Structure 1
């Protein structure tokens, strides 16, 4: 029994170990190929971050993690919601516009804006869900198109109705009563950890409970593994697809909310693009597991923050960090698949040996 347990643990650790080794080797080879020093790169990347970078890492981890959970909801259903970028873009603009208009004040303004962000994100994702269930349109194609539409539409609305400041344009600034003061772990100049970063914890816990402790979560996982089997057991796959897209988009709507109410105060040049695509990568890196995605989000946030060290401390391009992130995701996906196939083949061999032994004994 102990041998079986040790083998199971070894199999679980083998794939991430292979991924780490491959990522380090490939990144080191790329750095050496461009004529830079791999030693300087790894020394800079794993140096102790400055206090302001630590604060930034925590804040970025929270937003990336929320985005990863939004992607994971779709993945669990067998859907590739590549439209997270457009969903949180539309939601952020809508929430910032409402909050800046100050129809209500104080905490109520924040609460209503958060609800608007969730509803708009869900509605934008719901378009792809309806197209998939009603017309059979692939969610990959529809969400890519919706990303482009969202970017164009928000750009038009900001330029048409936004507030101009020199060469920039933005939505109305939030009042002081609608800004949420964060936690200052270091000196004030090092920045604050946003209060709404707590959404990452709530979203992660909710995702785990939904998947593992509810009937809906079971139906979601069953539909993602086999729509035919789920239909035979009484689950409506089309309904599950639509609900999953709505949930994924609703969670995506919260991605930029910690930054909006923590420091940005408006939608404009301070808006951070790319969090949707980072979330997809982290969901793949973390294997759609709440804990795995947490480590993945922390890793990506850490690498992004440390890229500043490369800019000022070495002659290595910060773009190498993006290569490292991409290689890490690819290595994890490939290594897990290789280990899975090897494990299945090993189990088949063991079963075959036991059957052969049983036949020999009976003869």
Structure 2
């Protein structure tokens, strides 16, 4: 049974904290070089959000969380599913097209649409799994290419089924019926907007992710394969089957990313639907160390920076894109920080073992007849 270790906890927290400090220093240096007001920028970003903005932060974090968990499932097995963005696009389009037909009454329509989206995302991810198992093609290459293909395929299909809005150049799928639209939850006092109802789905996904990874045989096999494929094979794990299952599971989770947006905000899929969520999930999963609670904190931070950047142009006279610099530096710094912390952990563990061995030898009884 594992015991609580303050050192392990400290080292786990040290990496993201170090990354945030580095991001703060690097961004400040860039702002100084460009002659921008550093103090005003940080005052704007770090100011306490209004209730309406808090809702926006929670809603953004909900979507980011689902994206990051989809990425993290593959990361736990050293499987780099870079195609979450494409899987999300295919899934949300399929879900929106299905929901818009209103073949089923309200709640049932929502439930079945979620299933359709998960199936679509899983099927799109299975292409990369097949190419890796049968043709030996790296999932990094195949999923990146499938992202571009997904964008083209969805745009082509959207033109086939789209409903053009009068007086606008925006095209979208048929809107979902009002009975299937989720009005949201009034969780934050004083806010005129509401938290997505499907935040409950994100919470459920997080709990199931933790349980499956840590408490099931499948999760054990997945983690074992990620740590050492040869050791996993020796213990009886069928690695090809694990690759296929994990990639499809990652794609199915990617299918959930657009559901809060579809049912809680946009009510259809079109050219203005939020993009780039899959790529944001990669950074958030890394920052959260693939842990459900760490991912939640990282998703809130990412969303917080997004929302707070809206006021930069007005208050500080700086383009909101400065937040992209902060997020990029965080992502770059966290990778380096984790490696530095890992090496420090190894050194500390080696020193601990050396001390214990030294103490054991000094406490050992002197053999009879030996010189003291």
Please say whether Structure 1 and Structure 2 have the same fold, judged by a TM-score greater than 0.5: yes
- Offset at residue 103 of structure 1 (A): 2.1
Inter-partner Cα distance in structure 2 for 1:5 and 1:167: 58
Inter-partner Cα distance in structure 1 for 2:74 and 2:352: 35
Partner of 2:200: 198
Contact 2:92–2:255 (8 Å) recurs in 1: yes
334-343 or 272-281, larger mean C-alpha shift: 334-343
Inter-partner Cα distance in structure 1 for 2:9 and 2:282: 27
Deviation string, structure 1 residues 210-259 (Cα, Å, up to 9, x no partner): 01111110000001111111111011001000000010000100001011
- Offset at residue 133 of structure 1 (A): 1.0
- Offset at residue 132 of structure 1 (A): 0.7
Distance 1:147 1:348, change over 3 A: same
- Offset at residue 138 of structure 1 (A): 0.4
SS at match of 1:190: coil
- Number of matched pairs: 360
Alignment TM-score, normalising by the size of structure 2: 0.92
- Offset at residue 168 of structure 1 (A): 1.7
- Offset at residue 340 of structure 1 (A): 1.1
Partner of 2:275: 273
Report 1:1-363 matches (<5 A): 5-165=5-165, 166-185=168-187, 190-352=192-354, 355=357
Inter-partner Cα distance in structure 2 for 1:170 and 1:20: 39
Distance 1:23 1:221, change over 3 A: same
Unmatched tracts of structure 2, length 5 or more: none
- Offset at residue 157 of structure 1 (A): 1.1
- Offset at residue 19 of structure 1 (A): 2.1
- Offset at residue 359 of structure 1 (A): 6.2
- Offset at residue 347 of structure 1 (A): 2.7
Distance 1:176 1:32, change over 3 A: same
Contact 2:16–2:287 (8 Å) recurs in 1: no
RMSD: 2.0
Deviation string, structure 1 residues 305-331 (Cα, Å, up to 9, x no partner): 001111221211111101111111222
- Offset at residue 350 of structure 1 (A): 4.4
Deviation string, structure 1 residues 72-97 (Cα, Å, up to 9, x no partner): 00001110100000001000000000
Contact 1:45–1:303 (8 Å) recurs in 2: yes
Inter-partner Cα distance in structure 2 for 1:14 and 1:105: 50
Inter-partner Cα distance in structure 2 for 1:161 and 1:9: 52
Inter-partner Cα distance in structure 2 for 1:184 and 1:6: 38
Structure with bigger helix share is 1
Inter-partner Cα distance in structure 2 for 1:276 and 1:177: 29
Deviation string, structure 1 residues 134-186 (Cα, Å, up to 9, x no partner): 11110011101110111001111112221112312110011111112212356
11-20 or 109-118, larger mean C-alpha shift: 11-20
Contact 1:211–1:221 (8 Å) recurs in 2: yes
